[in-house]
Chain A
Amino acid sequence: MLTDERRPAPAQPEPPVEAGARRRRRPWSTVVVFLSPALVLFALLVLTPIAIAAYGSFFEWNGFGVPTAFVGLENFHRLLVDEIFVGDLRRALLLVVLSLCIQLPVSLALAMLLNQPLRGRRVYRMLFFAPYVLSEVVTAVLFTMIFSPNQGLANHITRLIGLGDLGATWLAEPDTVMYSLFLVISWKYFGFHTILYLAGRQGIPQELHDAAAIDGAGPWQAFRNITLPLLGPTIRISVFLSILGTIQLFDMIWVLTGGPIRSSETLAVTMFQEGFKRSHVGYASAISMAIFLISLTFGLLYQRFVLRRDLEGAITTIGDRR
């Protein structure tokens, strides 16, 4: 997610250049000097690995030494018939759908609630945001304990409210593991989206709501016709982050479930399994290329068709139209 960005190192001191030449080339030399550290790092840490992975994906390669056995598109062909990989796509889609239909609406509702003048509002905001501060691994370890089949808190609670051993299957059943996982992901990220929405909500001028109230709009009408449209840009960004995060999901699953029997694997987990557990580095590279292409395609299409209005300043347009 956002934290993947590498910070550029401080700029190297500029080598001394003759005064005349300097004046003539100033725009370019300045650009080069300020851009090159970032560009070098970007090339080294982003472009080179992508290039190597792309190259490796055309080989049958166990990761030792230099790849030699060129197999063309064989690895990619294998992807299409690999039921684990196809399952990964299906599971990613499931998580995306669940996030968009449940997690984000709940976050939105909470944000609206937290925008109301209620007692202890700051405390709630802190509490809801707290899980997001934890690392995914810490969250996963925490929930392994909560979902522990025989000593876990979750089972204790289900037993208390008379649901018996329902909870024992949280992470242990291939049919329920994805939903348990979704629960944990939601727990971790809903606060982040809530804060986003809350921030967006507070950017909406109060006069709009005042005017609507004078015109006789009820709370639902105000929400539907003022808040929601003006939250559009925030919602679109939050959806974007949520989907990209889901495509790249790894740590949580690796620590939390590890299965059962590969039923909760995502693209990144399968890539890791193939590359580091089975020494199929060529095939794993093909999977990584697939993740890259999926993310890139999604990112570009989303920016082109969904975020375009925001990038062109949709808020002011609507504001003027008012």
Chain B
Amino acid sequence: MTNPIRFSRRSVLGLAAAASAGAVLGGCGDDGGESGSGKKIRWWHIANTDPMLSKWAEMAKQFEAAHPGVKFEITPLENEAFKTKLTTVIQAGDPPDIFHTWGGGVLAQQADAGMVKDITAEVGGWRDTLIPTALDAYTIEGKTYASAVDTGMVGFWYNKQLFERAGLSKPPATWADYLEAVRKLKAANITPIALAGKEKWPGHYYWAYLAMRVAGLDALRQAAVDKDFTKPDFVAAGARLSELVALQPFQTGFLAAGYSTADGQAATMGNGKAAMELMGQWAPVVQRDNSAGKKGLGDKLGFFTFPAVDGGKGQITDAFGGGGGFAVGKDAPPEAVEFLKFIAQPDNARIEAKTAGVLPVVKAASDAVTDPNLKMVAETLSRSTGFQLYLDQAYAPAVGQQVNDSVAELLAGKASPEKLVEAVTTAAKQG
């Protein structure tokens, strides 16, 4: 008779030993390095796919060539993984020398803890080459903690062909029109909206924009200061969102859909399976990269701003969104700041704008934006009457996460608008 017990026990033990040895070794390998004293620059960014992955590696190489002794150690991370991993190393008191940031409350918390360098003076050297509002999100109480790389805003990206098929000649300008458009799309058997319900941040855009339109920018800012989101206007914003949810506008199984995954929000849009998505300036690129054949929608893709809400206090020209920047870790060598200046050179900024399809913050590089949709985003942004950073970045992490979670519940039909504002208020009070 065969005796699988010996075989299995030995292999299980072997696996266990290998796994634990691996864990111990892995733990040893990840030492902090001698940043600060040496000239090693640890750079964490979120451009984990080409083209920017290799473009940025090239820029680092050029910089190394011009600055003998400087050696880059680049860690490209996927968006969500980046946020988690960064939190871990920062809590351990060992931030990377250069790392991606969206500014706002998250950066403020890092600055509070003394984990990032105040680079106000250094950035002053190239501040004038940037568009005026570029550094606002990274400036806390007059001190600048990061340099901006790109900017942008969130709006509706829509499939013109599908809109036409549903008999919609122009994009909706008011919330009532918008709901009507969703109804028509549904009637034409078209999925109106693609949404990555699993990741939550894309969902929070809806409530944030509605809160901006209904309550206004000042109310939103004041609410964060007062730690009180229970004003009737915020409940009304949720109620408006509930109107949309009631129409069941999202793709099947949206609660389990990711954003840039094989079957996620961007892929659904890029493959023409849904008529629109509410997303930032990077949407066309991500749609293209995740679509079948990497083609995207091409010139079928259009952009319109989030509609106005009747009787709301906000303007339709108020913009919501943000860009990316780079913060400098507390122990970084001076060359790290020097490198931020280097990538803010117009030539390098043009490369970013051209290849990654982002909106540059460097004024001289604005001629590199050629895509008509992005031009439209840039124009809308330049005409904007007010600006709100992503709520999950603008607020302290706990509040931002609660906004994401509560809006997700509302979108799933599991929470009322009242419950949403109460949960966010509780989180804000707990800090």
Contact = CB atoms under 8 A, between A and B. Distances in A.
Contact of B263 (A2, A148, A195): A148
Nearest to B402: A278
A171 B412 CA distance: 13
A198 B4 contact: yes
A276 B109 contact: no
A276 B262 CA distance: 26
Interface in A1-15: 2-7
B66 interface: no
Interface stretch (B18-26, B275-283, B351-359): B18-26
A5 to B, nearest CB: 6
Nearest to B106: A279
Given A7-B20, A276-B84, A278-B397, A173 B91 contact: no
A230 to B, nearest CB: 15
Interface string A157-175: 0000000010011111110
Nearest to B197: A260
Contacts of A169: 253
Nearest to A177: B256
A277 B401 contact: yes
A149 interface: yes
Contacts of A172: 197, 252-257
Contacts of A145: 262
B62 interface: no
B256 A6 contact: no
Interface in B104-133: 109-110, 112-115
B256 A262 contact: no
Nearest to A191: B8
Contacts of A257: 198, 256
B273 A7 contact: no
Nearest to B27: A45
B115 to A, nearest CB: 7
Contacts of B8: 129, 195, 199
B401 A273 contact: yes
Contacts of B84: 276-277
Contact of A258 (B9, B112, B198): B198
A7 B113 contact: no
**Best-surrounded residue of A7, A125, A145, A174 (most CB of chain B within 10 A):** A7
A64 B109 contact: yes
Interface string A181-224: 00000000000000100110011000000000000000000000
A260 B412 contact: yes
Contacts of B198: 257-260
A59 interface: no
A260 B255 contact: yes
A268 to B, nearest CB: 14
A63 interface: yes
Interface residues of B, number: 56
Nearest to B410: A261
Interface string B242-265: 000000000111111100011100
A199 B5 contact: yes
B37 interface: no
B87 A279 contact: yes
B4 A261 contact: no
Contacts of A297: none
B91 A203 contact: no
Interface string A256-283: 0111111000000000010011111100
A277 B91 contact: no
A30 interface: no
A203 B9 CA distance: 14
B414 A174 contact: yes
Interface in B216-238: none
Contact of A165 (B91, B200, B252): B252
Nearest to B80: A258
B20 A5 contact: yes
A152 interface: yes
B20 A259 contact: no
Contacts of B254: 149, 172
Contact of A173 (B88, B109, B255): B255
Nearest to A200: B5
A70 B51 CA distance: 49
A174 B21 contact: no
A248 B375 CA distance: 50
A259 B197 contact: yes
Nearest to A280: B398
A145 to B, nearest CB: 7
B251 A279 contact: no
Given A259-B197, A259-B408, A279-B398, A149 B16 contact: no
A150 B268 contact: yes
Contact of A168 (B20, B252, B273, B398): B252
A151 B262 contact: yes
A119 interface: no
Contact of A64 (B90, B252, B261): B90
Given A65-B113, A199-B4, A260-B412, A6 B24 contact: yes
Given A64-B113, A260-B255, A260-B408, A2 B262 contact: no
A58 interface: no
B401 A7 contact: no
A115 B198 CA distance: 43
Given A6-B20, A279-B398, A174 B412 contact: yes
A203 B23 contact: no
A250 interface: no
B2 interface: yes
Contacts of B263: 148-152
B426 to A, nearest CB: 11
Nearest to A276: B87
Interface string B1-45: 111110011001001110111011000000000000000000000
A322 interface: no
Given A261-B405, A278-B397, 18 more contacts: A5-B16, A6-B23, A7-B24, A62-B109, A62-B113, A63-B91, A64-B90, A148-B262, A149-B251, A150-B252, A150-B263, A171-B253, A172-B256, A174-B412, A199-B5, A203-B5, A277-B83, A281-B91
Interface of A: 2-7, 60, 62-65, 122, 125, 129, 133, 144-145, 147-152, 165, 168-174, 177, 195, 198-199, 202-203, 257-262, 273, 276-281
6 contacts: A125-B4, A149-B256, A150-B273, A171-B256, A172-B255, A172-B257
